[in-house]
Structure 1
């Protein structure tokens, strides 16, 4: 730890919601007491403090208590768990959905169900750490390909099939990469996987609720996507996660997944809030597209102001700064202007690509972009 450079040392800061759902206030420091507009969290649709979600969580709290008290296979299952699983399966067009307490656990379970020591996993170089840990735990052989590079995937698939025609293959990617704001060409990727008899796992954590038809994610309706993982701690404004797949693999998860079996069930109030969020998202299928359109406007203005155009078209807009300390300086600069964003530094992102990760929310005031551009110009 002594060798860790000061500009790369992480610090915990505690926040409390301030009046107005788009603002957060630093807790415990008089010097940081002014509320800041939230451009950092993943609450894309602004549902975290939505009255419908709060009411649903409170009602379930009265019915079921704070926690489930046991795993789903012991005494932890509640009617609300089954209700959310069924609603999600219907919304996503999948046979089976299983809930998990966290996205990390869900991804571990997904890899364990789809790969073992006889399998080779081909993974995008920028996939989430939880997926890499899952591959390591499975004992599978890992081969990584350049970010969103279809040609690299094709070459790896062909090489694996030529070497061992019957070897199980699994391709792993995300539909919206959380630090890049980019998305793969999933239609072409699914075609490659079908051609080479490879399973495909897509982590939809950051896309669900925002991207794809009516916010159903970019994997929705694509033939050849074996399993998707998703979370409720982002656009759904709650907590917990899920896996969605076919009947056979759903039963494999239920019968053999340690990440599902040996953990206390997702807290019922969080489940109820996620179910309420899903119903709101289904009732407002245009919310995600509105956020996408706003993100394009922001990208246009940032590019016009001289910044490298943030990649992608979703609500995550990375502004590449380069050096760690320069990114931290930009973070503090924006905080002085009343905007909360966080400098993302290695090892979370590649060396030399420290950045500000700007995140759009549906409930940001209209003047936020003007404030941001003015603050960046002052630096």
Structure 2
């Protein structure tokens, strides 16, 4: 009897995948600030999360180059073996001071940091109440802990409050964890973080806030929407967006920081964040603090774009930050709009299920502070009639 092909389920899954849902890797060659070249055609960047244009900033490039020359390219080991460099501690302390948090630990990626954060605040006896649209990495973290998942409607604090009341009524001593984001990457929306934290405090629930897309852009001085709110148990942030580098971190009080150092598998068993990325992130932190006028101008520009898109007949993108999703619903139409913009020299990617719920495919527009004058007019013309 011939043995079954162990990869047959994968092949069957791929065969059933609709063409409009298939993903492919696409190589884009950077071509100066806010631009790429694809298949020989120049494209203005309205897709990446490089909100402040720091990924190609000369100060960050110099910092990374100097770190390579003095420290090498990779760290070579876990932070708990031989991977910790002075650069790591310097950046952690600077971030802690900037965010008003007692302890910061660096992680190689935001995905790892979010898994580690959930593992610190939940176990198999915990109920996790999560915004329906939280990032996939947080869901993986919940699965890793074995915690019981409950979802509340997106940014709906009334729904969350009802679920917290029910959880406390059923088991007064149960460990509770609430998960949300300060800027949802596919929605452009934000919760009322102060009210969210107060709600969690009133019900004795820990709060994990993913600030990946808000840091550098939203909140006082770009410190995120959780800045100054001490009832937040852990803040997760990344360097691959407004910071212009790579890697991630968790920020909290001394207790949770020490717990992560002693017990976090994603921290213990990962090679330390590469020195050039650490150095570039530190330079990015300095640049963010020096570029307050650019940050404020970006937010003002984002509102003008929202006004113009709405005036042109498109559904107004929600939120106030630089992520402006155009909801179109149908996968095919979202892909057609992506192609339409590319023909006009604009790069914006169609976002389809499972990244977003079925029936909510969209064109994800991302505004950068260094987009050239006239970009909005080009966009409105390229989009055509809604």
TM-score (norm 2): 0.96
* 1:181 to 2:188 alignment: yes
Cα RMSD (Å)? 0.8
Point out the more displaced range, 222-231 or 212-221: 222-231
State how far apart, in whole Å, the 2-side matches of 1:81 and 1:110 are: 19
Contact 1:214 1:286 in 2 (8 A): no
2:199 aligned counterpart, secondary structure: helix
What do the CA deviations read for 1:177-208 (whole angstroms, capped 9, x no partner)? Answer: 00000000111111111110111000000000
2:79 aligned counterpart, secondary structure: coil
Q: Give 2:248's aligned residue.
A: 241
State how far apart, in whole Å, the 1-side matches of 2:224 and 2:53 are: 18
State how far apart, in whole Å, the 1-side matches of 2:44 and 2:172 are: 54
* 1:86 to 2:61 alignment: no
Q: Give 2:338's aligned residue.
A: 331
Q: Give 1:191's aligned residue.
A: 198
* 1:7 to 2:20 alignment: yes
Where structure 1 has 5 or more consecutive residues not aligned to the other structure, the ranges are 27-31
**Equivalence map 1:1-379=2 (5 Å):** 1-18=14-31, 20-26=32-38, 32-377=39-384
Give the count of matched residue pairs.
373
Contact 1:281 1:287 in 2 (8 A): no
State how far apart, in whole Å, the 2-side matches of 1:353 and 1:199 are: 31
User: How much does 1:292 deviate?
Assistant: 1.0
What do the CA deviations read for 1:71-107 (whole angstroms, capped 9, x no partner)? Answer: 0000000111111001000000000000000000000
User: How much does 1:43 deviate?
Assistant: 0.3
What do the CA deviations read for 1:218-270 (whole angstroms, capped 9, x no partner)? Answer: 00001311110000000001000000000011000000000000010000000
What do the CA deviations read for 1:289-319 (whole angstroms, capped 9, x no partner)? Answer: 2211110000000000000000100000000
State how far apart, in whole Å, the 2-side matches of 1:52 and 1:371 are: 31
State how far apart, in whole Å, the 1-side matches of 2:90 and 2:376 are: 39
TM-score (norm 1): 0.97
Contact 1:211 1:289 in 2 (8 A): no
Where structure 2 has 5 or more consecutive residues not aligned to the other structure, the ranges are 1-13
2:125 aligned counterpart, secondary structure: coil
Instruction: Give every structure 1 segment of 4 or more consecutive aligned residues whose post-TM-superposition deviation is greater than 6 Å.
Output: none
Q: Give 1:29's aligned residue.
A: none
